[in-house]
């Protein structure tokens, strides 16, 4: 596989302006989120890693459980693998795309579109999980502000908000 030639062909086909570095990788912006493509010619693959969204503290650990469950047999990820990094709280989706000598620009574009469609879906799901968690906190805080709320409920609501 000639990764440079494939990317040049993809640029022409899709109107992109991607440039591969010495490590055969490039990063581009997709709807405000970075996407990494790294070609691995020795194994005939291209790694795609798309950042999805920050998983807010209020959504933890439930959101992580959802991500792990979706990874089981890649059944809910369209073949991608979801990941999360605790340092920046960002979830990502990773795909290994098969690329070889017979892969042309339209085929690569179709694989990228499929992967980025899954990224869009998971970005929205994470944003929804964050919203649901925030709504739950608001409900608990409303209960805490009432005179009949216990000190335990107040402490629990404050801990969830942190």
pLDDT in tens, 39-84: 999 999 999 999 999 999 999 999 999 999 999 999 899 999 999 9
| Helix 3-14 vs helix 105-145: crossing angle, to nearest 10 | 70
Does pLDDT of 118 surpass 70?
yes
Residue the block writes with tokens 């990502």: 92
| Strands lying side by side in the sheet with 45-54 | 25-30, 33-40, 45-54, 90-98, 81-85
Domain that includes residue 122, residue range: 3-135
In a domain, 44, yes or no: yes
- If we measure between CA atoms, which residue out of 140, 132, 133, 134 comes closest to residue 156? 140
pLDDT at residue 26, rounded to an integer: 97
Does pLDDT of 135 surpass 60?
yes
pLDDT at residue 151, rounded to an integer: 64
pTM here is: 0.84
pLDDT at residue 1, rounded to an integer: 85
Instruction: Please tell me whether the peptide bond between 61 and the residue prior to it is cis, using omega within 30 degrees of 0.
Output: yes
Rounded average pLDDT over 33-37: 97
In a domain, 145, yes or no: no
CA distance 46 to 123: 22
Q: Quick one: pLDDT band at residue 162, thresholds 50, 70, 90? A: low
In a domain, 77, yes or no: yes
Q: Quick one: pLDDT band at residue 145, thresholds 50, 70, 90? A: low
For a pLDDT cut of 70, what percent of the chain falls above it?
88
Q: How many domains does the chain have?
A: 1
Residue length, the chain?
A: 162
In a domain, 140, yes or no: no
- In angstroms, the Cα distances linking 55 to 72, 86, 104, 125 are 20, 9, 36, 10
User: Residue 131 sits in a domain of what CATH number?
Assistant: 3.30.1460.10
Distance of CA 116 to the CA centre of its chain: 9
In a domain, 81, yes or no: yes
pLDDT at residue 80, rounded to an integer: 97
For a pLDDT cut of 90, what percent of the chain falls above it?
81
Output the six-digit token pair for 83: 């990941």
CA distance 88 to 23: 25
In a domain, 150, yes or no: no
In a domain, 98, yes or no: yes
**By three-state DSSP, how is residue 42 classified?**
coil
In a domain, 125, yes or no: yes
């Amino acid at each position: 596989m000639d990764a440079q030639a494939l990317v040049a062909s993809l640029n022409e086909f899709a109107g992109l302006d991607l440039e591969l570095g010495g490590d055969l990788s490039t990063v581009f912006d997709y709807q405000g989120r970075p996407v990494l493509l790294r070609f691995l010619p020795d194994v005939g693959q291209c790694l795609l890693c798309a950042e999805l969204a920050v998983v807010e503290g209020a959504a933890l650990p439930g959101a992580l459980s959802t991500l792990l469950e979706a990874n089981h047999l890649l059944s809910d990820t369209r073949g991608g693998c979801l990941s999360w990094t605790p340092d920046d709280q960002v979830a990502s989706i990773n795909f290994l795309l098969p690329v070889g000598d017979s892969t042309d620009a339209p085929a690569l574009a179709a694989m990228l579109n499929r992967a980025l469609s899954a990224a869009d879906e998971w970005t929205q799901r994470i944003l929804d999980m964050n919203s649901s968690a925030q709504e739950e906190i608001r409900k608990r805080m409303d209960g805490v502000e009432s005179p009949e709320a216990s000190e335990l409920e107040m402490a629990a609501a404050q801990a969830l908000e942190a």
